[in-house]
Structure 1
Amino acid sequence: MSHHDSIKGRGSAYNPLIRFDRLTREAAMPDWPGDDAEPTAIKTELIWQEAKSAITRNQSPDIYFSQSINPYHGCEHGCIYCYARPSHAYWGYSAGLDFETRIIARRGLADRLRHELAKPGYQCEPICIGANTDCYQPAERQLGLTRQLLEVLLTHRHPLVIITKNALVERDLDVLQALAAQQLVQVYISISTLDAETARLLEPRASAPHRRLQTVETLSKAGVPVGVLCAPIIPALNDHQIEQILPAVAAAGAVMASYVLLRLPLEINELFKDWLQRHFPQRAEHVMSLIRQMRGGKENNAQFGERMRGTGIFADLIRSRFELACRRHGLGRRHMDLNCGSFCVPGQAKQLDLF
């Protein structure tokens, strides 16, 4: 059983050790009787950081884009499975509660982006916004960092992809429509379950599943190409909903769908197993057994070509079910059909723009 109490509105219940720290910290609980109060709510702390660069590049064969921008480090959505959690250690914070309560916002990011787009030799390729942490998490409502990036990319006709699980993306529908009119944008809404209670436990501060379906419909009706990312698929927890999610998103107007199998790298392994014991204790060992069977006997496999989809009989079954449901409901595979030919380098007006 887990030794931690759940905290309302938070995915993790504690801070695991920061792997780069030389010091070991351990919470000391008072031993006097009568101290059975609920865990104190933890407020979100916003930390500003000057952006030294904007575009991050990767060469992973498993990822369909090579460029990304993350306006925030950490994410208040608190998704227990988030693969970005371990990255918080690079800033001196824990992958647990710190990740969802100490949010780093990157000041001056739009200016840095404009500067990098103007560099000699820059090659225009789609940029993914929100690849690591959600670019429409709650802090975005007041700060508008993501909207600033969209406005820069629209001004210079640069293609982009957005990944989010927050209905706040609807706020920027005017910019998204202008981008879509020039074939410059795709939006992916992450939906891992349609069950409100499961979503509340898995993704405590993200938009509810029904609200995300409404967002898919809103974007689709506005002419914005929208797909759905079913991530993560967790065996014996939400995989049975594949055949429910895909027809629902297709009916809402999604044209593409993809999925990712649950990954448990570094601190996420410890955090997820603790979460399982707190919320699904009778199912926990079965879930972990299936994960090991899909990861070659391990609890995580970082091998390119295998880490996103897994291997073995159960992984193959999930793949077959997902592909069959996509064909049945007319959902295509994720693809990057975006316009890179209209890019206008900042500071270099095209001849036709002068008229």
Structure 2
Amino acid sequence: MSNPEKRVARLYATEEFRSLARQRLPKGLFEYVDRGAGDERARGWTQASLDRWRFVPRLLCDVSQRSQDVELFGQRYSAPLAISPTAAAGLLWFEGEIALARAARTAGLPFTLSTSSITSMERVAEAAGPGMWFQLYMWPDRRLSYGLVDRVREAGYGALILTVDTPVLPLRPYNLRNGFGVPIRMTPRNVVDVACHPRWALGTLVPHLLRHGMPRYENYPQGAQASLGVKAKSFANPKNDSCTWDDLHALRRYWKGPLLVKGILSPEDARLALQHGADGVVLSNHAGRNLDSLVAPLDVLPQVADSVGHKLTVLVDSGFASGSDAVKALALGAKAVMLGRAPLYGLGAGGEAGAARVLRMFCEDIERTLALVGCRHPGELSRAHLHDAACAAGLNPARSSP
């Protein structure tokens, strides 16, 4: 057993992986992963939305034959989970995108590669196998995006996720204080920060510099791949405040595989996604990282599931820290749950072994929770298995916070 495997074998909760990752990673990098936008109220509301739901088990049910496998877009997976696109994976561990993709494949789960990853989609597909998903931003120059879609198709990715909730750059004050941005600024603060974390510097940063040079966005279109130490040209920024539903319709005509829209938070937008050709939607508040007063995905999940769940595949992400959290979303109408921070904490704590351990932990907790609420399979879950503590207390869930 390797050192990372030994280190993570004794961890049993997402918070334990978070704590270990916090010790190993520079503060600027850890806070980039861990924190939210603005005053970070959306993070608290997202956690409150998970906490308001309590299980109501059905007892004396035969749950001896349990399964949590799920079909998503014609493919069978071992659990109703998927890996969300996250830009920082390659900075948390050497070749972290490949490590995370391999962990997902071992667990039998779909992995989504971010447009803003620092490992090319071709290298990730070669190392982890075809059939993964890819997350796309729509550039102001649409030709850049379509060129990227061509690469996605040729590399063998099975589904495309269009992220639509970031038309402009969000406010994250801690990144500014830490000097963590693009271009990366070398300040006395972050130089000391890196020097105080030699395991990360020697195990992640130095190997990347020696083998690949300065990190850069390897999946940006040709000509837009400036390194993280160089200010990008204006056309290279994928944040696009002119994107409309017509762009989704055009993308639907160009991409023939499964197409999802990520960032949906209203039944009306979910219906528009359906009308413009989407096969699925991902309810997401970007884990509280874009707007500090966004509604929590679980607060709108029942309405969206009722509105389009019979025609669209409804997924959800943001804030899930355990398998029991995921079961709540499944009972409220989601087909699967996408995980962002939790696998990153595992990756930051122990590389592929850490990410794999987190995913096993989630799968085991889902199976355990299903049995304890009286279900053999996620398909047997319903809202009758949940109690809304906020409504029972006469509270407005949208205003409740820790």
Which category of TM-score, normalised to the shorter sequence, fits these structures?
0.3 to 0.5
Higher RCO, Cα 8 Å, sep 6+: 2
